[in-house]
Amino acid sequence: MLTPNELSAFKSILLHRKDEIQKELEATDYFQTKQSHVQDSVGELSRYDNHPGDTGTELYEREKDIALVEHYEKELKDITHALENIEKGAYGKCETCDKDISLERLKALPTATHCVEHSPDQNVSHRRPVEEEVLIPAYGKFEYDEKDATLYDAEDAWQDVSRFGSSESPSDFFDQSILDYNDIVVEEDERIGYVEDIESFVGTDIEGNNIQIYPNAVHQAYEEQLDSEGIVSAVGNIGHPELESFDDE
């Protein structure tokens, strides 16, 4: 049990700390989080036309201000709760087991409402910071991502998006044969929408007639391979009767 003098001393400590926090928040206008916008620190009306990296420092400072305000408000809430317990005669008692909180613990943490054994903050979290999620691929977390599925999954979505550019460059890869940005997309050589290469540039109508060639990179590589082998491509001659007859011979 705490003596009346000890209760009075702890009450004075709590009131003094409460006054300090309130003065700090008022002097800084709650660290200007209620009045000032982050773009004010760079002298601009808007950040719309700025790259996020150009205002990284200002963003960090604003996040720090918000964190400080939340920390002070939490401490004020704990102080108010402790003062209420003093008025009710419950100060110094564990709210879980109703046993006395040690004097040493109260001196170190006057707002303590639990003994060491029942402190809600005694468990150490093993969760990693949420920021680390950007260090892992955007796929691999869903059911079909690591399977050879024909449906459109998260990996396919990432492939489509990454083709428009990413922070990676050919120099980031061990394979020194990669020289083109288009070759650094995950599984960039994967066949999408077809099984055989020829299916990517040969098309017909719904009845299988009117064969047409749709030139693309695969078609070009196909023709170059045949030329290097001295073979005339029947596919490349579609639409040219005189060459088709040559192929028949």
Mean pLDDT of 111-127: 85
Q: Which residues pair with 212 in a beta bridge?
A: 203
pLDDT, tens digit, 9 for 90 and up, residues 162-215:
777 676 666 666 666 666 666 666 666 677 667 788 888 888 888 888 888 888
Q: What angle do CA 190, 193, 194 make, to 5 degrees?
A: 80
Ordered domains of the chain (ranges, CATH): 4-108 (1.20.120.910), 132-183 (no CATH), 197-248 (no CATH)
Task: Give the pLDDT score at 245.
Answer: 40
pTM score over 0.85: no
Burial 180-196 (b: 16+ CB within 10 A, else e): eeeebbeeeeeeeeeee
Q: Which residue has the higher pLDDT, 147 or 89?
A: 89
Q: Which three-class secondary structure state does DSSP give residue 21? A: helix
Task: Give the pLDDT score at 17.
Answer: 95
H helices present in the chain, as ranges: 4-27, 56-88, 103-108, 154-162, 217-228, 241-248
CA distance 161 to 158: 5
* Residues 123, 137 contacting (CB under 8 angstroms): no
CA distance 188 to 195: 15
Contacts of 106 (CB under 8 A, 6+ apart): 2, 10, 92, 112
- Minimal CA–CA distance to 112: which of 133, 138, 91? 91
